[in-house]
Amino acid sequence: MIGKEIRLARIIDRNTGKTVIVPMDHGVSAGPIRGISDIKKAMAQVADGGANAIVVHKGLVARGHRKSGSDMGLIIHLSGSTSLSPEPNAKTLVCSVEEAIKLGADGVSVHVNIGSGREKDMLADLGRIAERASEWGIPLLAMIYPRGEKIRDEYDPEAIKHAARLGAELGADVVKVSYTGGPETFREVVEGCHVPVIIAGGPKMESDRAVLEMVKGAMEAGAAGTSIGRNVFQHPNPTRMVAALAMIVHQGASVEKALEFLHHNGGGTNETNHTWREERVAA
C-alpha cells in the first residue's frame, strides 16, 4: 500500500503527523457563497497560508488549478445534497473513486449523516467507496455527523463518539467529526477511534478567538488536525487565518500567540506566508 502512504503524506504533514485541511465543497449544498466564488483565488489564499489540503467537488478541479505557487493536497468530495432538497441530510454519490484519480486526487471524501432516514443508503455508499479506495490505494476521509430525525443534539459527545468509530469501522483512513465543546469529552472521541480524527469548523463563528480556542482544545485532546471551511475562506484574511491554525496544529502554539500573529498589522498574502514560515523555522 505504498501508494496510499505516499498520498497520505500529501494530505497529512509527514513530520508532525497533523493536518490543516480547508473544505471548499459548499457550493453544491449552498450555492456560490462568499469566499469561494472565485475558487482559484480562494485556493491560492489558503495554499499560501500553509494548508495541507483542500476538499472540492470534481467540477472545481480544473477551474481552481493554479499551475504555480504553494502546493497542497487535493481531496475530491464524492457525495452531495442541496439545501433546497426535502431531504438535505440525505447525501448521494456524485463522483467515483476512479474519476477522482483521473482528476489528480490525493484522496477522496464521503459525507454520512447518521440518524437520518436515509442512513442505510449512505452507509452502503461509504462501504462501497472504502472498498474501491482500498483497491486503488487512495486515502478516504469520512465526514460523519449525527444529523437527522433521531438526533436531538448533533454535538452530543456520545453521538460523536459513535460517528467517529463508525467511520473507522467501515474503512476510513481519516474521520472528520464535529467538536464536542471541550477537550475532556473530545478525548473520548479520539480514544474510541483507531484512525486519525480531525474536527469540522461548523457554522461561521463569532470571533477568531472562538475558532482558535476550539482548535487548541481539540489538539490537546489528541486530534490529528482541522477541516475548517467558512471560518477560513470567509475570514478577512484567509491566508493569515490558515497560518494561525497551522501554528496551533503543527507547532503547538498557544491561542494567544496565534491571535497575536493573526492580528499583527493585518498582513497581506505574500507577507503573511513569509512571516509564518520564518516563525515556523524559528520555533
Which residues are known catalytic residues?
Answer: 25, 145, 176
Distance CA 141, CA 169 (A): 13
- Distance, in Å, from the CA atom of 232 to the CA atom of 67, rounded to the nearest integer, reads 22
Question: How far is residue 51's CA from residue 73's CA, in Å, rounded to a whole number?
Answer: 8
- Outline where DSSP puts E strands in 147-260: 174-177, 197-200, 225-227
Phi, psi of 104 (to 5 degrees): 95, 20
Cell 474501491 belongs to residue: 132
> Grid cell 499560501 — which residue?
48
Q: What sign results for the dihedral spanned by CA atoms 214, 36, 106, 127? A: positive
Question: Would you say how long the chain is, in residues?
Answer: 283
